[in-house]
Amino acid sequence: MPSNTSLAPFFSPRGVAVIGASRNPNKLGYGLARNLVQSNYQGEVHFVNPRGGTLFGSEMYVDVAHVPDPLDLAVILIPAPSVPGALRECGQRGLKAVIIGSGGFRETGSGGSALEDECLQIARSFQMRLLGPNSIGLLDTHFPLDATFLPPPGPLAGDVAFISHSGAICAAVIDWARGQGFGLSRLISLGNQADVNETDLLAPVAEDPFSKVLTLYLEGVSDGARFTREARRLSQRKPVIALKVGRFKSGQRAIASHTGALAGQEVAYDAAFRRAGVIRADTSEEMFDWARALAWCPLPRGRSAAVLTNAGGPGAAAADMLEAAGMSLAKLNPNTLDALRGSLPPEASLSNPVDMLASASPDHYAACLRILLDDPGVNSILVILPPPPMYTAGAVAKAIIPVIHGANKPVVIALMGERLIQEAVEHFRAAHIPEYRFPERAASALSILSQRADFLLRADLNPVTFNDIDQSHASQIVEKFRRGGAGIFLPQGTASKLLQAYGIRTLQVETADSPEAAVSKARSIGYPVALKTHSPDIAHKSDVKGVLLDLKDDRDVLEGFHRLVNKARESRPKAVVNGVYVQPMVPKGQEVIVGGLQDPQFGPLVMFGSGGTEVEGLNDVAFSMAPMTNLEAEYLMENTWAGRRLSGYRDLSPADRATLKEVFHRLAQLVADLPQIAEIEINPLIVLDQDAGCIPVDIRVKIV
């Protein structure tokens, strides 16, 4: 089904038919009919049941063909075997949007899967879009429309949209959101996604003026590359938060390199979300904590925060969490300190966090909050409010709400307690000021506001590419070896030529199939040299002690040849051993690993981290989609120890970060241009001192 087919009938239907409406209050068809009637939907509601009769004072039609106009949307809730027939009738009636709420399809096995395929074929034959099967439906609190069968009450009208792969969690979210005092704009249950999927819904939901934040509960994505493109386009306008579950169920893959071993499913999601500007939450609570802050607060202009409290302990906890989340405590300017000093007793602590002491009154809270908001070095404020011993939390809330509404900086509240804070809870929720039970949650929300502000300020939409590459030559290299069979590794010399075609400097590599040839190659290169086992069947030379370094003369090379070949044959009797590689020794530098691969869901990825033989054990790696932007290249370096130490550490001189970034970009362009490259890895890549360049020592390229 073309993805550009309009989904508008799902969200703004002039008439809705419930196929499977029932007078039995225990049936889902009754619940759906009830919700439509009670949702204050302004369009026409039609009920379909072959037995006829009436429901909620309206006629039940024997089939959809008899339903009068207007009719734009049908919801089917009948046994699965009868759904294809009902769907065909909908197509003949001219409908373009159908929700299948019935279960019993792909989730039940092969028979249900065949039934689902049949439904999809019928829909396509009529150019009809399907939501489901096995969907609980959708709702829009502002249109309004409730086309779900969930128990009442429905959600409050709000500004957070929710798209979910799980129907069960939709019911829980509605009830939980009511309890937390925030509303939803739209809620959509995707069900089995026979047709409409999560990416299809991003644009129509983002275009809804009432939806200020999009939240997603994902079990996967149907098309990773398309999801990333669409989310990237929309996240420039509205925040998108995703909770991707199944984090520890990485798919099985044939592992031929460190890059492949470390590139599980979740690192690809992380890289894709980062490219798309999607904020990834770890828990449902976190997702909606952040959504409330993003919907209700202005964005900060920096990461310097102030903490205002009447108790030292919670203030210290908030300070810890803010710094852990990448924020900093603002240094208050002298005018701010003077103003605080004039408003508070001498015993109060004026350093940030500002501790007003337990005696702080509502007026103290309001006055000090104004003072902190006026400080140009304060970008955001976390107010901590345990129940004051001499006043009510509700009184404090009423005092500071006007101050917050008059500010252009974000303020979040850590409203600590339960029974004694309920009045304050109601005041803050009615005022759309995010409140959280503990300082850690409030600090996390402030951090996300800063993350969103940084994204909008630094959004880099243009991947770096080069014009001095020879893609044609690289393709010829790959195609020549592809004809030799799938899943093979390029010889070192050929792998070097592949990198050279993309402008990546490589080390001279010679092959030798005899001791005498090894000596001849070594003399030609110039001593000292390195020898490495030459075998297409040995993935990691270190596994068979297949590397000898700093060989200084002919005798070393002769002995080294025999040692490497014999060791390889002893360790891997079935391996083909072609001799050795001979390479010059390289200057000392910092060892890193750079790799690339094709992810089955999101396409080409690049990996960077600590190199050498223990790369998998260290797990000091980061991934990015390819080709990369400059910000993504910086991310790789700033989020690995291997990258951070390149700036200099103890006895390590600053290394050539600029050339390394260029290697990232060139390798990313290579794996993006040539999907036949299943995996490529440079390990180690020696990063020399500043302005001295980078030298690949060992290159592995697997093509398919």
Phi, psi of 307, deg, nearest 5: -120, 125
pLDDT band at 53; cut points 50, 70, 90: very high
- For residue 6, the model assigns a pLDDT of 86
Distance (Å, whole) CA 346 – CA 545: 70
Q: Which residues in 541-576 are b (16+ Cβ under 10 Å) and which e?
A: beebebbbeebeebebbbebbeebbeebeeebeeee
| Helix, strand, coil % in the chain, rounded to nearest 5 | 40, 20, 35
- For residue 613, the model assigns a pLDDT of 67
More confident position, 386 or 541: 386
Beta pairing class for 354-355 and 129-131: unpaired
Average pLDDT value for residue range 618-631: 93
More confident position, 373 or 571: 373
Please check whether residue 299 is in contact with residue 452, taking contact to mean a CB–CB distance below 8 angstroms.
yes
- For residue 1, the model assigns a pLDDT of 43
Question: Coil, strand, or helix at residue 406?
Answer: coil
Q: What are the tens digits of pLDDT across the range 577-617?
A: 999 999 999 999 999 999 999 999 999 999 999 987 667 67
DSSP track, 255-312: --SHHHHH--HHHHHHHHHHHHTEEEESSHHHHHHHHHHHHHSPPPSSSEEEEEES-H
Beta pairing class for 590-599 and 677-687: antiparallel
Partners of 209 in beta bridges:
none
DSSP state of 409: S
pLDDT band at 137; cut points 50, 70, 90: very high
Distance (Å, whole) CA 533 – CA 386: 68
Please check whether residue 414 is in contact with residue 314, taking contact to mean a CB–CB distance below 8 angstroms.
yes
Average pLDDT value for residue range 254-272: 65
Partners of 622 in beta bridges:
608
pLDDT band at 538; cut points 50, 70, 90: confident
DSSP state of 490: P
Write down the residue that tokens 């909908």 correspond to: 90
CB count, 10 Å around CB of 158? Answer: 23
- For residue 540, the model assigns a pLDDT of 76
Please check whether residue 621 is in contact with residue 612, taking contact to mean a CB–CB distance below 8 angstroms.
no
Give me 396's structure tokens.
């404090």
Average pLDDT value for residue range 98-113: 95
H/E stretch holding 464 reads none
DSSP state of 549: E
- For residue 213, the model assigns a pLDDT of 98
DSSP state of 147: E
Average pLDDT value for residue range 350-360: 95
- CA terminus-to-terminus distance, the chain: 31
Distance (Å, whole) CA 534 – CA 492: 8
Q: Which residues in 107-141 are b (16+ Cβ under 10 Å) and which e?
A: eeeeebeebbeebbebbeebebbbbbbbbbbbbbb
Q: For 584, how many CA atoms within 13 A lie in the half-sphere containing its CB? A: 12
Contacts 24+ apart (CB under 8 A), 635-643: 635/274, 636/606, 636/608, 636/664, 637/608, 637/661, 640/608, 640/609, 640/610, 641/610, 642/590, 642/592, 642/593, 642/608, 642/609, 642/610, 642/611, 643/592, 643/608
Distance (Å, whole) CA 538 – CA 47: 68
Partners of 590 in beta bridges:
687
Instruction: Tell me how long the chain is.
Output: 704
pLDDT band at 562; cut points 50, 70, 90: very high
pLDDT band at 254; cut points 50, 70, 90: very low
Residue 44 has pLDDT above 80, yes or no: yes
Handedness of CA 472, 477, 480, 486 (dihedral sign): negative
Please check whether residue 431 is in contact with residue 401, taking contact to mean a CB–CB distance below 8 angstroms.
yes
Distance (Å, whole) CA 70 – CA 76: 18
CB count, 10 Å around CB of 89? Answer: 18
Please check whether residue 76 is in contact with residue 147, taking contact to mean a CB–CB distance below 8 angstroms.
no
> Which of 597, 593, 596, 594 minimizes the C-alpha distance to 614?
593
Average pLDDT value for residue range 662-691: 96
Average pLDDT value for residue range 551-574: 94
What domains can you pick out in the chain, each with its CATH number? 8-211 (3.40.50.720), 298-458 (3.40.50.261), 508-585 (3.30.1490.20)
- For residue 253, the model assigns a pLDDT of 43
Identity of the amino acid at 319: A
Q: What are the tens digits of pLDDT across the range 399-439?
A: 999 999 999 999 999 999 999 999 999 999 999 999 999 99
Average pLDDT value for residue range 558-579: 93
Residue 264 has pLDDT above 70, yes or no: no
pLDDT band at 536; cut points 50, 70, 90: confident
Beta pairing class for 328-329 and 278-281: unpaired
Sort 179 into a burial class: Cβ within 10 Å, 0-12 / 13-18 / 19+. Answer: exposed
Q: What are the tens digits of pLDDT across the range 451-462?
A: 999 999 987 778
Average pLDDT across the chain, whole number: 93
> Which of 491, 488, 493, 698 minimizes the C-alpha distance to 591?
698
Percent of the chain residues topping a pLDDT of 70: 96
Residue 257 has pLDDT above 50, yes or no: no
Distance (Å, whole) CA 161 – CA 167: 15
pLDDT band at 649; cut points 50, 70, 90: confident
Residue 127 has pLDDT above 60, yes or no: yes
> Which of 154, 160, 216, 148 minimizes the C-alpha distance to 185?
160
Q: What are the tens digits of pLDDT across the range 473-532?
A: 999 999 988 865 567 889 888 999 999 999 999 999 899 999 999 999 999 999 999 999
pTM over 0.85: yes
Please check whether residue 440 is in contact with residue 382, taking contact to mean a CB–CB distance below 8 angstroms.
no
DSSP state of 649: B
